[in-house]
C-alpha cells in the first residue's frame, strides 16, 4: 500500500509537470516572412460561412501581408470553447458573439475596449443605422461592432388573405387588429378541426417574448437591474402573457408548438401555407420568399400601449489576448464597416446606412420594414443585468410553457412565482 502511495505521488507530480508544459503553446501561428496571421472566430456554420470567406478574400487582396484564418465553431458549445481558449490565452484575435453574451464576456475581461482605436483611426462609427452600436456597448464603452441583426416582424401570406378577402395588415396596427385578423383567417372544417391557422407564434421563446412585454408598456426587470419582483409580476407583463396565451388557447388562432425545444416552437404551418401570419425574426425570410406556398408580405409587429420592437444582434470584437490587436482592428473595421456590409447585404440586413440606402434595401417593401423597425427598439432585459440568462430566463420560460400547455393556467400566480424564483436566484448571486 505504502509503495502504491509513493508511486501515485510521483505520478501526480509528473502529471502536473507535463500539464504545465502543455499550456505554453503559442496562440498565433508565426511566420518568418513578415506576414501577420490573425484568427477570426465565428459561431456561424454551413452557408453562413460564405460571406465571411468572401470578406476575408477581399481584405487579403487589399492587405497582402495579412492572412485571416476563419475558425468556425457552430452549435451550442461555441461560447464554452471561446472562454476556454481565452482562459488558455489562445483565443481568436477577432471573436464574434451574440447580443446577450456581450455583458458577460465583457465582465470577464474578454474584449479590448475599442474607444482609443476608434479615436485614433479614420474609422467613422456614425456610419451605422440607428441602434446598432448599442448592443456592443457596456457602461458607455464600445467593445464590439455590428455584424448583422434582426428585429421582429409579422410575415403574412398574401394568398391566404386574398382567398379570405381580408385586407393586409398595415403599419401601426394594434393587438386588437391582430386578433381580429387572425380570427378571420382561422378556418375550420365541418368537424370543427382547424384547417388553417391565423398566426404562427414562436412558442416559449423568451427573448422574442420581450417584444410583447415592451409593447404592453412593461418591463421584466427594474431599471437598476436588481429586482424582478415588481417588474416581472406587474400588470403590464400579465397583460402581455395573457394576450399571448389567449391567442393559443382562448381564441385558438395559433397552432400549438410542434417541438418546445426547437427554436421558435418547431412549427411549419406558415411554410406549408397553413397559417396566414407568423411573428419571427428575419432569419427564415430567404426560404419564405421562394416558397411556392407563400406570396410574402412583411409588416411591423402590432402596437399595444407602445409601438415597440426588440433587436437581435451579432457583432465582432478584439480579444484581450490578441498579440496583433492593431491588425485585428484593421480587419474589424473592414468586416464591420462598409466593405463588409457590401457583402453582408446579400445574406442579411446590412448594418451600414449608406449600403442599405444605395442598394435600395431601405426602400424595399419587405427589407424596408425590417430596417424601419430600428426606430422603435426597446432595451432588452439582458442589458440591465449580466445574470439575466441564469436567473430570470428559466423562470419566464416556465411561465410561457405553462400558459401555452395549460389553458387554465393562472397567469398572475405564475408570474408572481416566477418573479420570486428569479429574484431568489439573483439575490443568491449578489451575496
Binding residues (CB under 8 A) for other proteins: these are 1-3, 6-8, 10-12, 14-16, 18-19, 76-77, 79-80, 83-84, 86-87, 104, 108-110, 204, 256-261, 389-390, 394, 397-398, 401-402, 405, 421, 428
Q: What SS3 class is residue 301? A: coil
Q: How far is the CB of 26 from other proteins (least distance, A)?
A: 20
Cα distance between residue 26 and residue 32, in whole Å: 15
Please answer whether residues 399 and 418 qualify as being in contact, where contact means their C-beta atoms are separated by less than 8 angstroms. Answer: yes
Cβ proximity to other proteins: between 357 and 390 the closer is 390
Q: Which is nearer to other proteins, 332 or 395 (CB)?
A: 395
In whole angstroms, how large is the CA radius of gyration of the chain?
25
Of the pair 127, 409, the CB lying nearest other proteins is at 409
The DSSP letter of residue 401 is: H
What minimum distance in Å lies between the beta carbon of 384 and other proteins?
A: 17
Picking from 383, 392, 387, 431, the residue whose alpha carbon sits closest to that of residue 415 is 392
CA 230/CA 22 separation, integer angstroms: 51
The residue (of 222 and 320) whose beta carbon lies closer to other proteins is 320
Closer residue to other proteins, CB minimum distance, 181 or 207: 207
SS3 374: helix
Residue 146 Cβ, how far from other proteins at the closest point, in Å? 24
Q: Which is nearer to other proteins, 20 or 170 (CB)?
A: 20
b/e per residue, 187-216, with b = 16+ CB within 10 A?
Answer: eeeeeeebebbbbbbbbbbbbbbbbbbbbb
Q: Which three cell numbers stand for residue 422?
A: 428569479
Query: Considering the complex, what minimum distance in angstroms separates the CB of residue 176 from other proteins?
Result: 29
Grid coordinates standing for 346? 446579400
DSSP-assigned beta bridge partners for residue 36: 66
State the minimum distance, in angstroms, from the CB of residue 322 to other proteins.
Answer: 15
Give me the least distance between CB of 110 and other proteins, in Å please: 7
Shortest distance (Å) from residue 358 CB to other proteins: 40
DSSP states of 351-404:
SBHHHHHHTTGGGSTTHHHHHHGGGGB---GGGT-TTHHHHHHHHHHHHHHHHH
- By beta-carbon proximity to other proteins, the closer residue of 11 and 413 is 11
Q: Is 246 exposed, middle or buried (0-12, 13-18, 19+ CB in 10 A)?
A: middle
Amino acid at each position: 500500500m505504502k509503495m502504491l502511495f509513493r508511486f501515485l505521488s510521483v505520478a501526480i507530480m509528473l502529471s502536473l509537470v507535463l500539464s504545465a508544459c502543455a499550456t505554453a503553446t503559442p496562440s498565433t501561428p508565426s511566420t518568418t516572412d513578415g506576414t501577420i496571421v490573425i484568427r477570426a472566430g465565428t459561431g456561424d456554420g454551413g452557408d453562413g460561412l460564405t460571406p465571411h470567406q468572401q470578406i476575408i478574400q477581399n481584405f487579403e487582396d487589399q492587405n497582402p501581408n495579412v492572412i485571416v484564418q476563419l475558425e468556425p465553431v457552430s452549435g451550442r458549445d461555441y461560447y464554452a470553447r471561446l472562454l476556454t481558449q481565452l482562459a488558455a490565452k489562445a483565443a481568436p484575435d477577432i471573436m464574434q458573439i451574440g447580443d446577450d453574451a456581450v455583458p458577460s464576456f465583457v465582465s470577464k475581461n474578454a474584449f479590448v475596449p475599442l474607444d482609443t482605436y476608434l479615436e485614433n483611426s479614420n474609422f467613422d462609427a456614425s456610419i451605422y443605422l440607428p441602434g446598432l452600436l448599442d448592443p456592443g456597448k457596456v457602461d458607455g464603452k464600445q467593445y464590439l461592432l455590428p455584424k448583422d441583426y434582426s428585429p421582429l416582424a409579422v410575415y403574412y401570406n398574401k394568398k391566404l388573405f386574398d382567398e379570405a378577402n381580408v385586407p393586409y395588415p398595415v403599419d401601426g396596427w394594434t393587438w386588437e387588429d391582430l386578433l381580429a385578423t387572425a380570427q378571420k383567417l382561422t378556418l375550420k372544417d365541418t368537424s370543427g378541426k382547424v384547417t388553417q391557422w391565423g398566426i404562427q407564434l414562436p412558442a416559449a421563446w423568451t427573448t422574442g417574448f420581450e417584444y410583447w412585454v415592451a409593447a404592453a408598456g412593461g418591463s421584466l426587470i427594474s431599471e437598476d437591474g436588481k429586482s424582478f419582483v415588481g417588474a416581472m409580476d406587474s400588470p403590464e407583463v400579465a397583460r402581455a402573457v395573457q394576450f399571448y396565451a389567449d391567442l393559443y388557447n382562448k381564441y385558438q388562432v395559433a397552432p400549438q408548438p410542434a417541438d418546445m425545444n426547437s427554436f421558435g416552437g418547431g412549427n411549419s404551418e406558415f411554410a406549408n401555407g397553413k397559417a396566414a401570419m407568423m411573428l419571427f425574426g428575419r432569419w427564415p425570410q430567404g426560404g419564405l420568399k421562394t416558397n411556392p406556398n407563400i406570396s410574402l408580405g412583411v409588416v411591423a409587429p402590432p402596437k399595444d400601449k407602445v409601438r415597440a420592437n426588440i433587436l437581435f444582434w451579432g457583432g465582432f470584437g478584439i480579444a484581450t489576448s490578441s498579440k496583433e490587436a492593431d491588425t485585428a482592428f484593421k480587419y474589424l473595421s473592414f468586416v464591420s464597416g462598409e466593405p463588409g456590409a457590401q457583402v453582408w447585404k446579400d445574406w442579411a440586413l446590412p448594418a451600414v446606412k449608406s449600403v442599405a440606402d444605395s442598394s435600395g434595401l431601405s426602400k424595399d417593401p419587405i427589407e424596408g420594414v425590417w430596417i424601419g423597425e430600428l426606430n422603435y427598439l426597446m432595451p432588452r432585459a439582458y442589458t440591465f443585468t449580466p445574470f439575466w440568462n441564469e436567473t430570470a430566463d428559466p423562470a419566464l420560460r416556465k411561465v410561457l410553457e405553462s400558459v401555452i400547455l395549460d389553458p387554465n393556467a393562472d397567469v398572475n400566480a405564475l408570474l408572481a412565482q416566477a418573479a420570486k424564483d428569479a429574484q431568489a436566484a439573483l439575490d443568491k448571486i449578489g451575496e
